[in-house]
Amino acid sequence: MSKSTQREDHLKALYALGESQSSSWVSTTQMASHLGVKPPSVTAMVQVLAELGWAEHRPYHGARLTPTGRKLALSLVRKHRLWETFLVDRLGFGWEEVHDIAEQLEHVDSVALVERLDAYLGHPQTDPHGDPIPKADGTFHPEGEVLVLAELDPLVCCEVKAVREGSDATLSAMSAKGIALGSVLTPAQIEALPAAWLDQLMVCKTVDDGSID
Amino acid sequence: MSKSTQREDHLKALYALGESQSSSWVSTTQMASHLGVKPPSVTAMVQVLAELGWAEHRPYHGARLTPTGRKLALSLVRKHRLWETFLVDRLGFGWEEVHDIAEQLEHVDSVALVERLDAYLGHPQTDPHGDPIPKADGTFHPEGEVLVLAELDPLVCCEVKAVREGSDATLSAMSAKGIALGSVLTPAQIEALPAAWLDQLMVCKTVDDGSID
DNA sequence: CATGATTTTTAGATGCGCCTAAAAATGGTG
DNA sequence: CACCATTTTTAGGCGCATCTAAAAATCATG
């Protein structure tokens, strides 16, 4: 598929891991466990990405995307999230079923396809997990004030805005408990959730309108 | 992508070439030119397909699909044609633009995806080129009485039912001359067509209803 | 600040799909 | 029916992405 599914996968891993931590430098071991390969394989691939001008490699310290590499990674994220949106909104898949399929679809190489798909879906701003969809030029729509549920200090009512990387099983379990994008959670409900979910659920506080009047 | 895009491509070539001629035995040279590789590469791949039980290989004589191989090939054809239908009917591509994209999409491995796509498209029976779409069980809807335009002996009015493997440029040119599925051609129009097209256009005779009344 | 534990890279091998060149089989023709 | 042209397969290599094992660099700790 096009230039190489593997290169694209390494590029995406570099992007995803760089975003999820303070420094954009990512270790080869991190990438290896994320991609399910061994560290030496990552080293080799990172060196290829460096030759292509898509990443920098500081031996023994890690790798980081170049601006070019970042653009490419964003276009992959864009494709992935547009396909997920298609699978859920149009084909009726559950949000826990679409990741692996989108993983394959995102490697299809056709600019026209992505742009037509985007238009067909009505230029969606977020995917079925609530994550923002990068635009064709690599910019995002602002994400609003969301925070990880684990960091909600005084437990207050909040609305689920997005779910970060969860296994299919986790996503199914959430669905089963009635958690979806837009769900409102009360402090009591939050305390009853499995601890692991607190790091995955992104929420924003809702105003308690004292609805018992 | 799944088991191997290359194996799938060889399987499809074996199917397509076997169908297009009297004998289902296909030479490695034929496959090689169809796939754009050299004959020794095909020999090697055919031997792999034989080990998988997808094809028989009679050395120095050719290869042929087994029933299992044929089923797999039909499921690829099914996916290809469903995606082409999606691209044209839903995304608004022209029929000459979709082959290469569908070629990539058909290798995406997900039974659920194909079946949902089929339902979403309304279980179409033919693709945008007029070719029948195999059903999930590998059967076809009957194709009706179509014949190659080149064999239309007394030139009479006919309706375009399908277009066989044409280059994108050919398909564009046909569109430009107003030829689409369902177009009705008069003997005068047929005589004006480029000779090469006569082998690609599949038509059925139409009743001249003597509409000048 | 030196030494041991850990991380990372290099070295060398494997499988896959492709290639070219050479050998083997087939098939047509005198 | 033997020979030559053609087709097909075998032999041997190459590039890519991966692996394991060994070497090198970094880091953490006494």
Q: Do A82-140 and A5-65 have the same topology in CATH?
A: yes
Q: Apex CA B82: angle with CA B4 and CA B26, to 5°?
A: 50
Pick the residue of B89, B93, B104, B105 with the most A CBs within 10 A to test the interface with A by mutation. B104
Kindly determine whether residue A93 and residue B87, on different chains, have CB atoms separated by under 8 Å. Answer: no
Helix (H, G, I), strand (E, B) or coil at A64: strand
Q: Which residue is nearest to nucleotide D17 (CA to C1')?
A: A41
- Which positions on strand D lie below 7 Å from a protein C-beta? 7-12, 16-21, 25-27
Judged by C1' against the alpha carbon of A63, the nearest nucleotide is: C8
Q: How far apart are CA B15 and CA B30, in angstroms?
A: 12
Give the model's pLDDT for residue A211.
42
What is the residue-level pLDDT of chain A in tens, covering all 213 positions?
Answer: 446 899 999 999 999 999 989 899 999 999 999 999 999 999 999 999 999 999 999 999 999 999 999 999 999 999 999 999 999 999 999 989 999 999 999 999 999 999 999 999 999 999 999 899 999 998 887 677 788 888 888 888 888 888 887 777 888 888 888 888 888 888 888 888 888 888 888 888 886 544 434
A168, A159, A170: which is closest to A200 by C-alpha? A170
Contacts of B62 (CB under 8 A, 6+ apart): B25, B26, B27, B28
Helix (H, G, I), strand (E, B) or coil at B29: helix
The top-level CATH class assigned to A82-140 is mainly alpha
C-alpha of B114 from chain center: 18
Q: How far apart are CA B164 and CA A61, in angstroms?
A: 56
Residues of A in contact with B120 (CB under 8 A): 90-91
Pick the residue of A116, A120, A121 with the most B CBs within 10 A to test the interface with B by mutation. A116
Residues of B in contact with A100 (CB under 8 A): 110
Kindly determine whether residue A101 and residue B117, on different chains, have CB atoms separated by under 8 Å. Answer: no
Helix (H, G, I), strand (E, B) or coil at A143: coil
CA distance A105 to chain B (A): 7
Kindly determine whether residue B105 and residue A100, on different chains, have CB atoms separated by under 8 Å. Answer: no
Give the tokens for residue A171.
Answer: 């996503």
DSSP string of A89-140? IIT---TTTHHHHHHHHTT---HHHHHHHHHHTT--SB-TTSPBPPPTTS--
Strand D–CB A23 distance below 7 A: no
Q: Which residue has the tokens 């792999």?
A: B48
Mean predicted lDDT score pLDDT of chain B: 90
Strand D–CB B43 distance below 7 A: yes
Strand D–CB B21 distance below 7 A: no
Find the distance separating the first CA and the last CA of chain A, reported in whole Å: 60
Domains of chain B by residue range: 5-65, 147-205
Give the model's pLDDT for residue B212.
37
Beta-carbon contacts below 8 Å between A and B: 49
Judged by C1' against the alpha carbon of A6, the nearest nucleotide is: D17
Proportion of chain B in helix, strand, coil states, percent, rounded to 5? 45, 10, 40
Assess contact for B201 and B148: CB atoms under 8 A: yes
Nearest residue of B to residue A4, measured between CA atoms: B1
Residues of B in contact with A5 (CB under 8 A): 1
Q: How far apart are CA B14 and CA B77, in angstroms?
A: 12
Model pLDDT for residues B39-67, shown as the tens digit of each residue? 999 999 999 999 999 999 999 999 999 99
Assess contact for A180 and A126: CB atoms under 8 A: no
SS (H, E, C) B78-99: HHHHHHHHHHHHHCCCCCCCCH
Q: Is A105 exposed, middle or buried (0-12, 13-18, 19+ CB in 10 A)?
A: buried
Q: How far apart are CA B105 and CA B80, in angstroms?
A: 7
Model pLDDT for residues B193-212, shown as the tens digit of each residue? 888 888 888 888 876 544 43
Give the model's pLDDT for residue A207.
65
Strand D–CB B55 distance below 7 A: no
Interface of A with B (CB under 8 A): 1, 5, 87, 90-93, 97, 100-101, 104-105, 107-110, 112-113, 116-117, 120
Side-chain half-sphere CA neighbours of A92 within 13 A: 9
Strands in B101-181 per DSSP E:
147-148, 158-163
Please give the CATH topology (third level) of the domain spanning A5-65.
Arc Repressor Mutant, subunit A (1.10.10)
Judged by C1' against the alpha carbon of B39, the nearest nucleotide is: D8
What order of strands is seen across the sheet that includes strand A201-205?
A: A147-148, A201-205, A158-163, A184-185
Strand D–CB B1 distance below 7 A: no
What is the share, in percent, of chain B residues with pLDDT greater than 70?
A: 94
Judged by C1' against the alpha carbon of A38, the nearest nucleotide is: D19
